[in-house]
C-alpha cells in the first residue's frame, strides 16, 4: 500500500476554553465542582485528502449525574472541515454514560459535502489506479445517523444492545475514470451519478475493561457489531456488515506518569448486494491515518495498529474521563 506523507497541520488559532474557573487563586475543589468542561481547537491546515482547509474541533465532557463522582465522564467530540474546493465535513462520535454506567449511548453522526476520490474495488485495482480529477474524483454528499444503545449485563464488563444505522450516499460530478469502472456501472451509475439510502438494524456486543473509554490508559475492549440492511427497513440494497475489533492498553509507569502503550486489531466484512460507498475500507481518522481516505475498499478489510501515547497536559483534573 502506498504510504502518505504525514498530515501537516498549520494552526494559527488555538483556543483552549475551560468551564473551570480561570482565576489563579481558584482551589482544586472549585475546579472539580464544574461539571461541564470543554475545549476548542481550530485554524487553517492541509491534508492530502482535502487539500487546504479551515478545520476545527470541540470536546465537551461532563457527568450525566454530577452527584456521582464514580460515574465515567461522558464525552461529545465535534469536528469540522471547510475545504477551499467548496466542501464541508462535520462529524461527532459521542460516548454517554448513564445510571452508574449500566446504560451507554455511543454512535456516529456525520454530514459531508466534499470532493472525494473512488479508486475502485479490490486491492490491485485500488493500488494501480492513479488519483486525479480525471480518474477518481467525484463529489461526495451524504450523512450518517448511527446511535448505539448498550446495556450492562449484570455485574460484568459485558455490554449488549441494539444499534440503528441510516446513511445516505450520493456520488455526483463523476470523473471519466469512474464512468469506466465496472463496479460503478453495475450498480447503476451513470453521468448523473449514483445514490444509495441504507437503513439497517443491528446488534453490538462489547466487553470493556478500559479505565477511560474515550482516552484509555489500561484495559481491553472486544467489540462486535453486526448490522443488517433490508428493503423492509427502507434500504435500497440488501446487505449486512460485520465488524470485529480488539483494543489493548497498558500504562508505562517506568517511563513516567500518563504514558501508555496500546494496540488494535480490526476486521471489517460486508456481505450481500453492498453499495460501493458502504464497502469495507481502510484509511480514515478512526483507523490507519497514513493512507488516502477510502482508497482501499473491498468486501473485507483487516488492519492492525500499535501506538505509544504521551499526555502533555500538566493538570490531571483536566483529563478526559477524570
pLDDT in tens, 73-130: 999 999 999 988 889 999 999 999 999 999 999 999 999 999 999 999 988 888 888 8
Q: What is the mean pLDDT of the chain?
A: 85
Beta bridge partners of 217: none
pLDDT value of residue 285 = 67
- The domain total for the chain is 1
Q: Are 248 and 263 in contact (CB under 8 A)?
A: yes
Host domain of residue 187: 97-318
Kindly report the number of other CB atoms within 10 A of residue 270's CB atom: 21
User: And the C-alpha cell for 224?
Assistant: 462486535
Nearest to 125, CA basis, from 298, 269, 288, 300? 298
Question: In this structure, is residue 227 part of a structural domain?
Answer: yes
Beta bridge partners of 31: none
The whole-model pTM stands at 0.83
| 181 — pLDDT class (breaks 50, 70, 90) | very high
| 315 — pLDDT class (breaks 50, 70, 90) | low
Q: pLDDT per residue over 244-283, tens digit each?
A: 999 999 999 888 888 899 999 999 999 999 999 999 887 7
> Above 90 in pLDDT, residue 10?
no
Read off the DSSP letter of residue 320: T
Question: In this structure, is residue 240 part of a structural domain?
Answer: yes
Question: In this structure, is residue 298 part of a structural domain?
Answer: yes
Question: In this structure, is residue 189 part of a structural domain?
Answer: yes
Question: In this structure, is residue 9 part of a structural domain?
Answer: no
| 45 — pLDDT class (breaks 50, 70, 90) | confident
DSSP character string of 253-295: GGG-TTEEEEEEEEEEEEEES--GGGSEEE-STTS-TTS-TT-
pLDDT value of residue 2 = 37
For the chain, the first-to-last Cα distance in angstroms comes to: 39
pLDDT value of residue 42 = 87
Find the mean pLDDT for residues 276-301: 82
> Above 80 in pLDDT, residue 62?
yes
| 31 — pLDDT class (breaks 50, 70, 90) | low
Question: In this structure, is residue 39 part of a structural domain?
Answer: no
In this structure, the strands spanning 296-298 and 74-83 are: unpaired
Round to whole Å and give the CA distance between 322 and 63.
10
Question: In this structure, is residue 288 part of a structural domain?
Answer: yes
> Above 60 in pLDDT, residue 5?
no
Listed range (50-54, 64-68, 69-73, 100-104) with the worst mean pLDDT: 50-54
Amino acid at each position: 500500500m502506498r504510504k502518505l506523507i504525514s498530515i501537516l497541520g498549520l494552526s494559527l488559532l488555538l483556543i483552549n476554553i475551560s468551564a473551570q474557573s480561570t482565576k489563579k487563586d481558584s482551589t482544586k475543589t472549585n475546579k472539580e465542582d464544574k461539571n461541564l468542561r470543554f475545549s476548542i481547537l481550530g485554524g487553517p491546515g492541509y491534508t492530502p485528502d482535502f487539500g487546504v482547509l479551515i478545520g476545527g474541533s470541540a470536546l465537551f465532557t461532563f457527568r450525566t449525574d454530577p452527584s456521582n463522582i464514580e460515574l465515567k465522564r461522558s464525552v461529545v467530540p465535534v469536528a469540522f472541515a471547510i475545504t477551499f474546493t467548496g466542501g464541508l465535513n462535520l462529524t461527532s462520535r459521542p460516548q454517554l454514560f448513564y445510571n452508574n454506567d449500566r446504560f451507554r449511548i455511543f454512535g456516529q453522526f456525520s454530514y459531508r459535502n466534499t470532493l472525494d476520490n473512488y479508486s475502485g474495488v479490490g486491492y490491485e485495482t485500488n493500488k494501480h489506479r492513479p488519483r486525479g480529477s480525471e480518474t477518481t474524483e467525484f463529489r461526495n454528499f451524504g450523512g450518517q445517523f448511527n446511535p448505539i444503545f448498550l446495556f450492562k449485563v449484570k455485574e460484568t464488563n459485558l455490554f449488549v444492545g441494539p444499534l440503528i444505522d441510516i446513511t445516505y450516499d450520493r456520488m455526483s460530478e463523476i470523473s471519466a475514470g469512474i464512468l469506466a469502472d465496472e463496479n460503478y456501472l453495475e450498480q447503476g451509475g451513470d453521468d448523473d451519478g449514483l445514490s444509495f439510502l441504507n437503513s439497517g438494524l443491528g446488534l453490538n456486543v462489547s466487553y470493556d475493561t478500559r479505565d477511560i473509554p474515550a482516552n484509555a490508559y489500561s484495559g481491553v475492549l472486544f467489540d462486535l457489531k453486526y448490522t443488517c440492511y433490508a428493503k423492509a427497513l427502507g434500504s435500497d440494497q440488501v446487505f449486512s456488515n460485520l465488524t470485529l475489533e480488539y483494543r489493548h492498553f497498558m500504562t508505562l509507569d517506568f517511563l513516567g506518569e500518563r504514558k501508555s502503550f496500546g494496540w488494535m486489531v480490526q476486521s471489517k466484512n460486508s456481505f450481500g448486494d453492498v453499495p460501493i460507498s458502504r464497502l469495507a475500507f481502510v484509511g480514515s481518522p478512526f483507523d490507519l491515518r497514513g493512507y488516502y481516505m477510502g482508497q482501499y475498499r473491498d468486501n473485507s478489510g483487516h488492519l492492525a495498529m500499535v501506538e505509544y501515547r504521551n499526555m502533555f497536559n500538566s493538570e490531571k483534573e483536566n483529563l478526559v474521563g477524570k
